[in-house]
Amino acid sequence: MPARPADRRPATPAEHPPAASGDQEPATSGAHAPDISGAYEPDASGERSPDAAGEQSPDAPGQRWPDARGEQPPATPGERWPDAPGEQPPTAPGDQRTGLFQRYRSRLWGIAYRITGSVADSDDVVQETWLRWQALTDAEVEGIEHPRAYLTTVVSRICYDQLGSARARRESYVGPWLPEPVVTEAGPEDRVTLDESVGTALLTVLERLTPAERTAFVLHDVFAVPFPEIAEVVGRTQDSVRQLASRARKRVRAEAPRRSLAPGEHRRAVEAFLAAVTEGDFDALLEVLDPDAVWISDSGGRFTTARLPVRGREKVARYAHRITRGYDPVAMDARIRDVNGAPGLVFSDPASGLAAVIGFTVHEGRITEIDFMMNPDKLRHLTTLLR
């Protein structure tokens, strides 16, 4: 019998799996590349979703969904998994186990980040998933028909179990809560595989969902996980999970801000904002802001920032001008970086170590939302990038 996900825990700690060639390790810099293979837009009805990347979404209980992007799970316990480009297939059972995990690790991190909104928690969840994977016997691993589906269930279950306590902590959080930013070097050659499902504004909307709604929405609408698998994660019936995903989808559509997906348009707006604030040009700042623009600050109470969202073009412009008027281009470094998959800004002071990350939502050439993150606890993972 195949081992059930998350039923076994390691008796002793196991080492973290080494990074495979071309794979980024999530614990170092924040330059994560979560795998979103299978992401798609839900259909207009909101109830049924088209199959993504050739995947079927079976409704029959216990049916497993196949791997996407042409990755076929082993037909028999002894069959080899396909070689990655330029890599030799593992020869020992332990190497094969590590290789299987590395093959899906970025996808697992992507699921964890969308469910938790935390880089640190996502790193921990993936590590715990690895430990549970290592705790299985070779016979149990060979008995798992679809490792991708198995690992997806394990990582999702760990995230779901953590959401309750995380939500309680955030209820006592000082000021607005924003997700920890994923920051990467700007430019097509460095752009990680991110989409609008990791946008800061959308993740903030997901934070207002119940743990079950958020898990169902992320797994089904972003990763095309079928309802039987999600039901196993959240401990609900398939019909209940369908309703959870539908409610979450309607709320996301109603509350998510308008957003343009053209990267050139987005970058031009960010460049105009940066020029306006560094030059102290108030009129230019007004020009780049949407009439209904909103500014959200997250410092976790560590610094003096707005405890409530600032709304309206003129109020946002005045607040941005006040926040940035002390900018010193000699002492403070300002760089355009991709923040959660779209151009944003990173301010850093090498002398004091202070940093701020600004994410933007842009629609029709104007900025509709500014997410200002200055809580140092949420920026620790950016140390390497800010050097």
CB 316 within 8 A of CB 294: yes
- Same-domain status, 146 and 215: yes
What's the pLDDT at 333?
85
User: pLDDT for 120-160, tens place per residue?
Assistant: 999 999 999 999 999 999 999 999 999 999 999 999 999 99
- Same-domain status, 191 and 306: no
Does pLDDT of 169 surpass 90? no
What's the pLDDT at 231?
98
User: pLDDT for 268-300, tens place per residue?
Assistant: 999 999 999 988 899 999 999 999 999 999 987
- Same-domain status, 251 and 268: no
Does pLDDT of 352 surpass 80? no
Q: 51 pLDDT band (50/70/90 cuts)?
A: very low
Does pLDDT of 218 surpass 80? yes
What's the pLDDT at 326?
65
Percentage of the chain beyond pLDDT 70 is 69
Average pLDDT, the chain: 76
Q: What angle do CA 217, 114, 100 make, to 5 degrees?
A: 100
- Picking from 228, 256, 284, the residue at the C-terminal end of a domain is 256
Length of the chain equals 387
- Same-domain status, 213 and 318: no
CB 306 within 8 A of CB 295: yes
Q: What is the CATH number of the domain that holds 278?
A: 3.10.450.50
- Same-domain status, 1 and 127: yes
Does residue 71 or residue 176 have the better pLDDT? 176
User: pLDDT for 81-127, tens place per residue?
Assistant: 222 333 333 334 567 889 999 999 999 999 999 999 999 999 999 99
Q: What is the CATH number of the domain that holds 192?
A: 1.20.140.160
- Same-domain status, 245 and 311: no
What's the pLDDT at 329?
67
- Same-domain status, 232 and 292: no
How far, in Å, are 136, 143, 197, 200, 349 from residue 115 at the CA level?
25, 28, 11, 13, 31
- Same-domain status, 59 and 208: yes
Percentage of the chain beyond pLDDT 90 is 49
- Picking from 201, 233, 256, the residue at the C-terminal end of a domain is 256
Q: 327 pLDDT band (50/70/90 cuts)?
A: low
Nearest to 372 by CA among 350, 349, 347, 342: 347
Which amino acid, one-letter code, is at 202? L
Does residue 100 or residue 26 have the better pLDDT? 100
- Same-domain status, 317 and 333: yes
- Same-domain status, 297 and 246: no
Q: Which domain holds residue 17?
A: 1-256
Alpha helices in the chain (DSSP H): 93-116, 119-135, 138-142, 147-171, 200-206, 211-217, 227-234, 238-255, 263-279, 282-288, 313-324, 383-386
Mean pLDDT over residues 331-355, rounded? 84
Highest mean pLDDT (candidates 22-36, 66-80, 174-188, 306-320): 306-320
Does pLDDT of 27 surpass 70? no
What's the pLDDT at 44?
34
Angular region, 46: left φ>0, alpha ψ -120 to 50, beta rest: left
What's the pLDDT at 201?
84
Q: What is the pTM of this model?
A: 0.72
Burial of 27 (0-12, 13-18, 19+ CB in 10 A): middle
How far, in Å, are 13, 83, 122, 273 from residue 71 at the CA level?
30, 10, 24, 43
Burial of 112 (0-12, 13-18, 19+ CB in 10 A): buried
Does residue 345 or residue 200 have the better pLDDT? 345
Please tell me the distance from the alpha carbon of residue 178 to that of residue 360, in angstroms, as a whole number. Answer: 13
- Same-domain status, 280 and 375: yes
- Same-domain status, 141 and 287: no
- Total domains in the chain come to 2
The shares of helix, strand and coil residues in the chain, as percent rounded to the nearest 5, are 45, 10, 45
- Picking from 210, 227, 256, the residue at the C-terminal end of a domain is 256
Residue identified by tokens 């039923």 is 7
Does pLDDT of 15 surpass 60? no
